[in-house]
Amino acid sequence: MHALIFSICFASVNALSEYEVTDRFNESKMALLARYTHGMQSTPAYLDALHQPCLGILQALVLHTLCLHRHDNTDQEVFSKSFILALQVARLMGLDEDDSTGRSPLETEIRRRCWWTLYWMRRHCAQEHGSIVDEAEFAAVVSLPLNINDIDLGPMADDTPTARTGITDMSFFLFTVELIKLHAKAQNLVSTSASWSVNQSEREGVQECVKRLESNFLRHCDASRPFDWFLLLTGKAMLTPIEIILLENLEATRHMVEATDDHLHESKRDAKFSLRLDIVECWHMLKTNEKLKTWTWFSWTFQPAVTIGDICTELARYPLSAHSKRAHALIELISLG
């Protein structure tokens, strides 16, 4: 339990800015993070994690590794060692088998949340570095956590709670897990060497996944609630690049069977440029809007598919139009901070 407490303290400090940490604790952020890391790694549970794995040390390792993944100054080797240790403990505990026999609903849910957090981090790192995830490493036999609120889970409960419809404490996590899986499917469309029929089938599969995400999560969001708005913006920022991939794949596969006139080409170019502007606008709001400040930490992990630098580069060869004027206004807004 001590290891988990140190890990929670590490996460709490990591979510704050340098100024907030100094103002509240009168110490530097780096010093506090180093102290809590040392505290966790000095506990008997941590030192004996591979010989006596337990749920408490697994939670501590997963939370700590997640924080390292989201921390800008983390050495990649430090993160990798932490991730490998967490994954080893998870496997020793049989998380990859998803056996809930004799376990309470609370323990079962915690195990699934830990496993899918590890999956999410592995997938995300693979995308960042252009590597491929071995799906056998994360067998699909493990059920996703339920879309519920934490209050639905009690340590003494015997019955598994019913998944809720709408936005819950788990919705953002489930949404991002589905997004990372969807992104892998969409990347298959980047190659245009497949036949028209194969591309169409894969395109329809991606489109179906997008519709499911919109139906299960986004359509339940109320933009007047800050957390829902945060989820909506994240959804748009992450789904719009997939929409661009779909447009480019459709355009490329059509070139195989028919010619494209200049007017249609310009129309598609404008559509994709407008979508890229949407992406930059969403990320700017996610990182700067005061109402979303509480949850900004969650967005640190994601790398924007399009940056303001990309827009500037594209704008240099883009003709004067309503889209170019919008781009100039966005550049000016971001430059002002």
pLDDT in tens, 59-72: 999 999 999 887 66
Query: What average pLDDT does the segment 187-203 reach?
Result: 66
Dig out the tokens for 110 from the structure: 């915690």
Q: How confident is the model at residue 195 (pLDDT cuts 50, 70, 90)?
A: low
Residues 6+ apart with CB under 8 A from 221: 167, 228, 229, 231, 232
pTM of the model: 0.86
Dig out the tokens for 267 from the structure: 């129309």
AA letter at 244: I
Report helix angle 308-315 to 322-335, nearest 10.
Answer: 140
Contact 175, 137 (CB under 8 A): no
pLDDT in tens, 117-164: 999 888 877 766 555 566 555 656 889 999 999 999 888 888 999 999
**CA neighbours within 13 Å on the CB side: how many for 3?**
22
> Rounded to whole angstroms, what are the CA distances from 268 to 54, 118, 260, 265, 321?
54, 38, 11, 5, 14
